[in-house]
Amino acid sequence: MSQRPVTEVVAAVLTQPDGRVLLAQRPPGKVYAGYWEFPGGKVEPGESLATALARELHEELGIVVTRAGRWITRLFEYPHAAVRLNFFRVFGWQGEPHPHEGQVFSWQQPDAVEVTPLLPANFPILKALSLPPLLGISRAESLGVDSFLARLDIALHNGLRLIQLRDKTLPEAVRLQLARETVNRARPFGARVLINGSLDLARAAGADGVHLDSAAAADLTARPDCEWVGVSCHDAAELSHAAAIEADFALLSPVLPTLTHPGATALGWEAFSALAGASPIPVFGLGGLERDDVPLARSHGAHGVALLRGAWT
């Protein structure tokens, strides 16, 4: 970023139950007229972000927000201004959105947007929004390969669409075969598979990308050359580095005490919220959480939750 003053902006991701999000076309007479963006606007002096969000959506769309949570924060430099985009996910509102300022609106699936042109800042946002709210971390080491694959089939039928294949202690040949089989079973459902560790293994298995532990990520100065990259993080410095290497998302843990790491200090929701809300990339909560905790996690700034045991039961 340059040394220009930064304009604080709130941006709202209104989300329908089917995953569609609301985009608005900037009206004539404004900078970037005709471009599509998320609804929102400038934060007034002395105004909190939540208050600005409620005001902007009432003024611009005529709705009253009933359920919303911080999501991510991104800095973006346009030719005319430097802005800090404070994104909120909005899942509940009263009233039907309609234009109060002459805009055109359109509900769009994040991974299949049909309106154009988009404001440049929104391309990574739409990619992030295509991530599902649940991430399953494999347990073939403890369950056994055959049992894990049987549970994978059930999870896929029940809607799991993002899988991290971990199981690092398996022999390399076994792990490659497991990775290939996981990818083959995931493909018909449109589910993505990320391999924890090796980019070579991910490519050999035909996976969608890699997931890096914090140590592996710390050794990198650039993004691995693949479609999707996740990083495991435990604090602000690791989250910042994950964003610096342009990871697509992070896992932040442990949120709550866990059976697997009983002595580890849990972040708690307050610390998690502060870290997730300030992150420029979406954050999944990990540790002590269940699939039913997605709404709670989202209310604290999470994109969703990552599950180890809970994904396969």
Q: What digits encode the pLDDT tens for the residues 238-291?
A: 999 999 999 999 999 999 998 776 777 899 999 999 999 999 999 999 999 999
Give the pair of three-digit tokens for residue 14: 């209104």
Question: Who contacts 197 (Cβ-Cβ below 8 Å, separation ≥6)?
Answer: 168, 210, 211, 212, 213, 216
Give the integer Cα–Cα distance in Å for 308 and 250.
15
Q: Which residues of the chain have pLDDT under 70?
A: 1-2, 261
SS3 100: coil
- Vertex 20: Cα angle to 187 and 211 (nearest 5): 45
Query: Beta 36-37 vs 21-25: how paired, if at all?
Result: antiparallel
Only one residue has tokens 């914090």, namely: 214
Taking the chain, what is the end-to-end CA distance rounded to the nearest angstrom? 46
Q: What is the pLDDT of residue 240?
A: 97
Give the integer Cα–Cα distance in Å for 53 and 90.
10
Q: What's the gap between Cα 60 and its chain centre?
A: 26
Give the integer Cα–Cα distance in Å for 4 and 257.
43
Q: Residue 117, preceding bond cis, omega within 30 degrees?
A: yes
Q: What is the pLDDT of residue 6?
A: 93
Give the integer Cα–Cα distance in Å for 255 and 286.
6
pTM above 0.85, yes or no: yes
The amino acid at 124? P
Look at the chain and count its residues: 313
Only one residue has tokens 């002395």, namely: 46
Cβ proximity of 291 and 305 under 8 Å = yes
Alpha-helix runs per DSSP H in the chain:
49-61, 123-129, 140-143, 145-157, 172-186, 199-205, 214-218, 236-244, 268-278, 294-299
In the beta sheet, which residues pair with residue 233? Answer: 252
